[in-house]
Amino acid sequence: MCTVGGGPDIQQIEELATKDYECLDCNNKFKAMGRRPMCPSCKSRNVKPA
């Protein structure tokens, strides 16, 4: 794909696609995307939107 003036700003796209979550098992706060996010610290799926 050819673009004029540079490609899309990846940082901006990542910020729009991710949401803040908190792990209910280890209390880790993180950003993730998808329907069933997983805590990067303890690998639990027991998370809630922060």
Q: What is the pLDDT of residue 17?
A: 79
- 28 touches 37 (CB < 8 A): no
Predicted structure pTM score: 0.67
- 22 touches 50 (CB < 8 A): yes
Q: Is residue 14 part of a domain?
A: no
Q: Is residue 25 part of a domain?
A: yes
Q: Is residue 32 part of a domain?
A: yes
Q: Is residue 30 part of a domain?
A: yes
Cα 46–22–19 angle (5° rounding)?
Answer: 105
Q: What is the pLDDT of residue 26?
A: 99
Q: Is residue 6 part of a domain?
A: no
Q: Is residue 4 part of a domain?
A: no
Domain count, the chain: 1
Q: Is residue 5 part of a domain?
A: no
How does DSSP classify residue 46?
-
Q: Is residue 24 part of a domain?
A: yes
Convert the pLDDT of each residue in 1-50 to its tens digit.
566 766 666 666 555 679 999 999 999 999 999 999 999 999 999 999 99
Domain that holds residue 30: 19-49
